[in-house]
Amino acid sequence: MDAVGERRINYDARGLAEPDAEVPNVSEVDGSSAVFDAAELTTRQINLELRNLVYERGVSDVTVKNPGSKHSLGVGILTRCRITFEGSLGYFGCGVIDGPEVHITGRVGWSACENMMSGVVVVEGNAGSLTGAALRGGDVVVKGRVGARSGIDQKGGTILTLGSVGSMTGFMMQRGHQIICGDAGPGLGDSMYDGTIYVAGKVKALGIDCVPGEWTAADSEFIERKFRIYELGTPPKFQKFVCGKKLYNYDNLEPSERKLVL
Amino acid sequence: MCGIAGIIYRDGARDVGHDMTAMLQSMKHRGPDSTGYALFAPASSQIVMRYTLADANDARDFEYEDRIERHRHEVEARLRELGAQLHEVEVETDYAYRATMTYDGDLKRLADFVEDVPGAEVLSLGNALEIVKDLGDAETVADQYKLEGFNGTHAIGHVRMATESDVDISGAHPYWAYPFSDVAVVHNGQLTNYFYWRRRLERSGHRFQSECDSEIIAVYLAEKMSEGLTLDEAMHKSLEELDGVFTYMCVTKDALGVAKDEMAAKPLVLYEGVDMVALASEEIAIRAIIDHEIDTYDPYEGEVLVWMR
């Protein structure tokens, strides 16, 4: 975004300038539910429409048709609501959200759910690289496969992948959980500080300082609960991986300090 | 940043000029500096040569038009001198040309002889491959070179955000694998052992049109294939021998291939349908040519995929 005089210029996913984007008001609203077609709308128009419905019109259940893999959709929603995208999202979908329950019937591109604070995002298809980067809280459920470096810098929350994941998954992970039902690429959990990674399939290679962890009843209970919540059936058998704490471990904070930081 | 795209039809030739323009235009934000196409028409017995006699942003001095005209005649004279039967020379812009000819001699000799004319640069040479590249976005370049309606079987394209070399046609992708006919490459990323391979390939007699690291990949692959490797084998070999972060696509007369480095640091989204395979840096490019819901995925690190038409 560039400031030009007093006008702010915004760019949509195609790089087109939108200096005067306004709420398009194209939704069909029925009580607390609304539906709108995003096929002919720009990224900014879609997000403006979403925010208007959720914040100004008291709608708690929004369906967005034909998102068309546009980038940065559904970002910055900081309230509890239900959003369904009927189709696929491009890069940075549902980033920096705090509270919503999002259902995506297609796939998501790179960096979905980046910096997500809380809520749930369920993706029916595949996800690109960097899914859940710097995730702080909430659950990200991907029913397909995920690209490289999912959960990089993860600081909380859970990323549950029914398929396989690419290289460097959980790179520099600091907290939270990853549950991977398929195979994991090379460099799993590389340089992780903390957190837990569960893998049901084969691990091509562990990353630096990522080591097998001791299985406890709490691990079983945690995984079973997640599978129950998302109606995923009986969980497979997992291996557990944690930080060996031989490389970097700067976590010398008192519990109260840690709460403030994380 | 840059964006790359590829498409191969499984059911014969279509308007690949239109489809590739739609894909590249939707990724304009990844690279507004220049746009390039490597388009494959159904193979013919004629040779098509795309060449330029100046760059788009060369200064237009008082002598410019006369000089270009003189050089154009010189190129045509040299083609005839080598025994080429020249059928047509189409003037695409005031510096870019498309020549069709019948020629069964040494293509390297022909390319070298043409490029010996001051300012001349052969962009592509072969029975099927046509490389078009210029400054501006995809719609600008497609309009300029009348690519709408280009009937072809497969293609790759590139939108460039110049980071390590000039904004000019030489720095634009795709790169033809001089002197091997009908091989071209587009690349998103950086090669960190560029100079090592450039020196090595130059010692083998290859010349490079640009300072761009991506040109190395085209020549590297073509040389490996000339030694007997298949495209798939050559691309696997490249993962061992080329350092850096990259996703690149290579096209030959019959195939389209893609390779990702072992870090999977550069994006690629892939759609494999019944009638076509389409791949691009961003899914939005694939959606630009397909109007129904599709399943796509990101290939993993170190993957090489090749499709035959």
Give the full edge-to-edge strand order of the sheet including B96-102.
Answer: B85-91, B96-102, B47-52, B121-126
**Which residues in chain B are closer than 8 Å to A88, comparing Cβ atoms?**
283, 287, 293, 296
Rounded mean pLDDT of chain A? 91
Rounded to 10 degrees, what is the CA torsion of B163, B164, B169, B170?
-160
pLDDT beyond 50 at A3: no
> Rounded to whole angstroms, how far apart are CA atoms A225 and B5?
42
Nearest to A129 among B32, B282, B298 (CB): B298
**Cβ(B5)–Cβ(B20) under 8 Å?**
yes
Residue of chain A whose Cα is closest to the Cα of B300: A166
> Rounded to whole angstroms, how far apart are CA atoms A181 and A235?
8
Substitution target from A18, A65, A107 for chain B, most B beta carbons within 10 A: A107
What pLDDT is attached to residue A177? 98
- From start to end of B192-267, where are the E strands? 244-251, 255-260
Substitution target from A9, A129, A164, A203 for chain B, most B beta carbons within 10 A: A129
A65 bridge partner residues: A37, A86
pLDDT beyond 80 at A226: yes
> Rounded to whole angstroms, how far apart are CA atoms B181 and B191?
24
What is the average pLDDT across B273-282?
95
pLDDT beyond 50 at B278: yes
Q: Do B29 and A14 touch (CB under 8 A)?
A: yes
Q: What distance in Å separates residue B265's CA from the closest CA in chain A?
A: 8
Cis peptide before B179 (omega within 30 of 0): yes
What are the angstrom distances between the C-alpha of A256 and each of A261, B182, B254? 9, 65, 64
pLDDT beyond 70 at A176: yes
What pLDDT is attached to residue B177? 87
Residue of chain B whose Cα is closest to the Cα of A145: B297
Nearest to A147 among B32, B293, B298 (CB): B298
What pLDDT is attached to residue A257? 67
* pLDDT tens digits, B40-75: 998 888 999 999 999 998 889 999 999 999 999 999
> Rounded to whole angstroms, how far apart are CA atoms A31 and A48?
19
What is the average pLDDT across B291-300?
91
Q: Is the dihedral of CA B128, B134, B138, B144 positive or negative?
A: negative
> Rounded to whole angstroms, how far apart are CA atoms A112 and A91?
6
Q: Which two tokens stand for residue A105?
A: 């019937």
What pLDDT is attached to residue A4? 40
What pLDDT is attached to residue A135? 97
At A213, is the pLDDT very low, low, confident or very high (cuts 50, 70, 90)? very high
pLDDT beyond 50 at A117: yes
Nearest to A13 among B267, B269, B284 (CB): B284
**Cβ(A114)–Cβ(A137) under 8 Å?**
no
* pLDDT tens digits, B126-160: 999 999 999 999 999 999 999 999 999 999 999 99
Catalytic residues of B, which ones?
2
What pLDDT is attached to residue A225? 98
Q: Do A15 and B298 touch (CB under 8 A)?
A: no
Q: What distance in Å separates residue A129's CA from the closest CA in chain B?
A: 8
pLDDT beyond 60 at A19: no
pLDDT beyond 70 at A259: no
Nearest to A109 among B25, B264, B282 (CB): B282
pLDDT beyond 80 at A5: no
Pairs across A and B, CB distance < 8 A: 79
Nearest to B301 among A69, A91, A185 (CB): A185
Q: Do A148 and B263 touch (CB under 8 A)?
A: yes
What pLDDT is attached to residue A260? 67
Residue of chain A whose Cα is closest to the Cα of B286: A69
**Cβ(A45)–Cβ(A21) under 8 Å?**
yes
Rounded to 10 degrees, what is the CA torsion of B127, B128, B133, B139?
150
* pLDDT tens digits, B73-90: 999 999 999 999 999 999
Q: What distance in Å separates residue B178's CA from the closest CA in chain A?
A: 34
Query: Is A66 at the interface with chain B, CB within 8 A?
Result: no
Query: Is B287 at the interface with chain A, CB within 8 A?
Result: yes
**Which residues in chain A are closer than 8 Å to B286, comparing Cβ atoms?**
69
Cis peptide before B174 (omega within 30 of 0): yes
What is the average pLDDT across B20-33?
93
Query: Is A70 at the interface with chain B, CB within 8 A?
Result: yes
Q: Which two tokens stand for residue B85?
A: 């039967």
Q: Do B264 and A167 touch (CB under 8 A)?
A: yes
* pLDDT tens digits, A52-103: 999 999 999 999 999 999 999 999 999 999 999 999 999 999 999 999 999 9
DSSP-derived pairing of the beta strands B276-280 and B3-9 = antiparallel
pLDDT beyond 70 at B240: yes
